[in-house]
């Protein structure tokens, strides 16, 4: 891990350890993966206008997000089935996030339960919810998250059905993975992942069932995703939660305006990491218009494509309260479990602090629109 000096190095380490069928699950996107690539490359269309001679002997990247103090303007985004990548799974990510002082978001489709994550993490935690047809199941999850001390709810709304993730289709990915004859050679070449998988407890969707293997729930998940869920149903959901709430998967200003009117406190500008509708806009490209639309009525978080401290600073300069990301810590998890996640978050912390000093700011509060511009060829 000490030889990984950036997130690209962690990604390469994950390739070496993880079986290709599960690495592709982390790494892949929908269709031709245009949006997947654009999410990251779009940051290159913006330049940072640094200032000098302002005294940056020390910097403080801390901020408040939905009333919670965090060490960084950076959130560990929700991601399903972390034990696919390493047996420590969500417990490693939650523990490392708490130690780093950042908000951790647990997925509905996690392979560790709401309660188990709460036991290992005393840091700030949010719970992410998909929209199920079974309202009793939804209410049960909300009650469990509230009882376990999760401070905010994230409703993911860009997942009415699963996107066309062709890497997973070609790999014949199941959860837990089935090692077919065509996969055996790759499994032998990655003994760390293979031994981990063979000698660890079965991977389950822990928040849906405590005793059924996740593979037996695949049809249940497909059947329960509620594509008919609409804004009126959201009003019921927010009434049941009755606490801080974030809507995840917004790219349009009219949807952002409706979200605020419905009662959301935060908006995650996101296209599901390029895993749903290909040729969706990169979050950084629509961030400004959404912030202009909602003003101070909601805190706006950019989700997607963040790989460097400079990406974080560009989003903040455009008006975001924070950014969120999952792939960086998932690469670390797949590469080395808890130490890999810690390395990923340490790299994020160092890059944000270093780049703040180079930008000429001592605190997040000092970052405004004067520090960013579209590159001349993009203006």
Considering only CA atoms, which of 159, 175, 241 is closest in space to residue 208? 175
Which sequence positions are flagged as catalytic?
Answer: 272
Q: Could you give the CA distance from residue 95 to residue 272 in angstroms, rounded to a whole number?
A: 24
As a whole number of angstroms, the distance between CA 36 and CA 49 comes to 27
Contact indicator for 354, 309 with CB cutoff of 8 Å: yes
Hey, how many other C-beta atoms are within 10 angstroms of the C-beta on 189? 12
Pull the structure tokens for residue 124.
Answer: 């700030």
- Collect contacts of 183-188 with beta carbons under 8 A, ≥24 apart: 183/19, 183/21, 186/19, 186/20, 186/21, 187/19
Q: At what angle do helices 309-317 and 283-294 cross, to 10 degrees?
A: 30
Q: What angle do CA 142, 148, 149 make, to 5 degrees?
A: 95
Give the separation between CA 29 and CA 165, rounded to whole angstroms.
Answer: 6
């Amino acid at each position: 891990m000490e030889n990984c000096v950036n997130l690209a190095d962690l990604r390469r380490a994950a390739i070496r350890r993880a079986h290709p069928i599960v690495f592709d699950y982390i790494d892949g996107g929908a269709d031709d993966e245009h949006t997947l690539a654009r999410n990251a490359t779009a940051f290159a269309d913006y330049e940072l206008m640094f200032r000098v001679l302002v005294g940056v002997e020390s910097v403080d990247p801390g901020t408040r997000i939905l009333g919670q103090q965090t060490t960084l303007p950076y959130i560990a985004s929700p991601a399903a089935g972390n034990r696919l990548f390493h047996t420590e799974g969500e417990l490693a990510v939650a523990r490392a996030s708490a130690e780093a002082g950042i908000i951790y978001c647990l997925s509905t489709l996690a392979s560790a339960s709401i309660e188990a994550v709460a036991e290992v993490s005393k840091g700030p935690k949010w719970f992410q919810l998909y929209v199920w047809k079974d309202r009793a199941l939804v209410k049960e999850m909300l009650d469990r998250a509230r009882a376990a001390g999760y401070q905010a709810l994230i409703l993911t709304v860009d997942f009415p059905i699963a996107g066309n993730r062709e890497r997973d289709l070609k790999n014949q990915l199941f959860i837990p993975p089935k090692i077919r004859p065509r996969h055996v050679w790759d499994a032998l070449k990655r003994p760390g992942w293979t031994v981990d998988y063979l000698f660890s407890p079965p991977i389950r969707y822990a928040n849906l069932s405590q005793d059924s293997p996740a593979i037996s729930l695949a049809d249940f998940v497909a059947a329960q995703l509620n594509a008919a869920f609409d804004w009126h149903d959201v009003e019921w959901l927010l009434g049941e939660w009755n606490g801080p709430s974030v809507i995840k998967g917004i790219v349009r200003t009219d949807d952002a305006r409706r979200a605020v009117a419905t009662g959301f406190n935060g908006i995650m500008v996101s296209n599901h990491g390029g895993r749903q509708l290909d040729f969706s806009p990169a979050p950084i490209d629509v961030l400004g218009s959404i912030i202009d639309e909602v003003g101070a009525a909601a805190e706006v978080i950019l989700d997607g494509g963040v790989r460097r401290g400079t990406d974080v600073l560009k989003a903040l300069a455009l008006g975001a309260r924070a950014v969120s990301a999952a792939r960086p810590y998932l690469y670390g998890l797949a590469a080395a479990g808890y130490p890999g996640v810690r390395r990923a978050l340490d790299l994020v912390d160092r890059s944000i602090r270093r780049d703040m000093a180079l930008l000429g700011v001592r605190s997040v509060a000092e970052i405004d629109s004067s520090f960013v511009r579209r590159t001349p060829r993009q203006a």
